[in-house]
């Protein structure tokens, strides 16, 4: 089998890998559930390639992410649920439906009107999906009580915590449940840090964990108000920490000193030097 730019070749390769007679044992063992962690990982690797501006790597990572879609679609096709064509049809229908200002009669809308229209269409879609689930008794057809509908019901539970926090807050803001000034969010952050300190003073580990959660939720809210992706911000902070810590490691290695032998004061001094060098270099 030869490589190709035709999506059908990728679909054929996935079918061959899942063939009971001649396929790959690992691929044959996979299910919807076991593939999900890989799908999430590949999405993060796409984000990482974008953050590093590595275009060659981005092309590869987008291919890896596309493979996850083809993999899930193949599993569904084998059980008669849907196929890759159904996935493509579903997303094309959705994009056409959500852009009546491009593909329909709702022409000449302002950016704010487009945003409001998008939100209304998504809300209608969510209501339709919920009604369909109630009618079918669940995905597998088993009788199940549908969860109570809420404005927040459409926010997936599987999202990363900070991303889900932002989406929950954004949903609530559509009905006016929001601060109108980022400084009010800063005041809430100070309030949450005070509550963490009080929980520490009380030696209440459960309360400390809860208050840390509240603080993270509020920080995500600040990021939303400042139009900053908190996941991207923490990835950037992680990279910065890695970079500066590796500077410490290399500096100690040049001195012939192991990490475990250096004092905290020595490492702090090297950390400060790393920060100073980054500022000099515009980092």
DSSP category for residue 261? G
Confidence of residue 48 (pLDDT cuts 50, 70, 90): confident
pLDDT band at 144 (very low <50, low <70, confident <90, very high): very low
User: What's residue 220's pLDDT?
Assistant: 96
Is the distance from CB of 218 to CB of 183 less than 8 angstroms? no
Q: What percent of the chain has pLDDT over 90?
A: 67
Which one of 40-54, 58-72, 89-103, 223-237 scores highest in mean pLDDT? 58-72
Rg for the chain (alpha carbons), in Å? 25
What per-residue confidence (pLDDT) applies to 182?
Answer: 94
Distance of alpha carbon 221 from alpha carbon 155, whole angstroms: 16
Q: For residue 204, give every residue at least 6 positions away whose Cβ sits within 8 Å of its Cβ, in sequence order, or none.
A: none
Q: What is the pTM (predicted TM-score) of this model?
A: 0.63
Average of per-residue pLDDT values in the chain: 90
- Mean per-residue pLDDT for 15-37? 95
Highest mean pLDDT (candidates 121-130, 136-145, 148-157, 253-262):
253-262
Looking at residue 137, its pLDDT comes to: 65
CA distances from 186 to 219, 222, 229, 238, 266 (A): 8, 7, 17, 22, 34
Minimum mean pLDDT range among 29-33, 117-121, 253-257? 117-121
- Averaged over 165-178, what is the pLDDT? 93
SS3 of residue 1 by DSSP: coil
Identify the residue with better confidence: 109 or 30.
Answer: 30
* 248 vs 131, higher pLDDT: 248
Pairwise CA distance, residues 230 & 47, whole Å? 13
* Contact of 224 with 170, CB cutoff 8 Å: yes
């Amino acid at each position: 089998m030869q490589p190709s730019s035709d999506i059908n070749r990728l679909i054929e390769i996935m079918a061959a890998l899942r063939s009971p007679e001649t396929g790959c044992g690992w691929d044959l063992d996979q299910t919807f559930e076991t593939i999900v962690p890989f799908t999430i990982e590949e999405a993060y690797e796409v984000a990482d390639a974008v953050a590093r501006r590595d275009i060659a790597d981005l092309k590869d990572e987008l291919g890896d992410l596309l493979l996850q879609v083809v993999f899930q679609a193949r599993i569904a096709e084998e059980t008669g649920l849907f196929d890759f064509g159904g996935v493509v049809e579903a997303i094309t229908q959705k994009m056409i439906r959500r852009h009546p200002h491009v593909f329909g009669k709702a022409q000449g809308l302002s950016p704010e009107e487009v945003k409001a229209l998008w939100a209304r269409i998504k809300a209608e879609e969510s209501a339709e999906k919920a009604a369909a689930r109630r009618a079918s008794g669940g995905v597998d057809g088993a009788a199940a009580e549908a969860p109570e509908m809420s404005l927040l019901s459409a926010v997936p539970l599987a999202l990363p915590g900070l991303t889900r926090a932002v989406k929950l807050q954004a949903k609530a803001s559509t009905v006016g449940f929001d601060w109108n000034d980022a400084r009010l969010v800063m005041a809430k952050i100070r309030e949450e840090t005070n509550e963490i300190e009080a929980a520490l003073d009380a030696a209440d580990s459960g309360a400390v964990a809860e208050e840390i959660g509240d603080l993270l939720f509020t920080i995500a809210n600040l990021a939303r108000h400042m139009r900053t992706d908190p996941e991207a911000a923490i990835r950037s902070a992680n990279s910065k920490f890695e970079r500066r810590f590796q500077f410490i490691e290399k500096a100690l290695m040049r001195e012939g000193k192991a990490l475990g032998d250096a004092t905290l004061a020595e490492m702090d001094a090297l950390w400060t030097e790393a920060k100073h060098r980054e500022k000099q270099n515009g980092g």
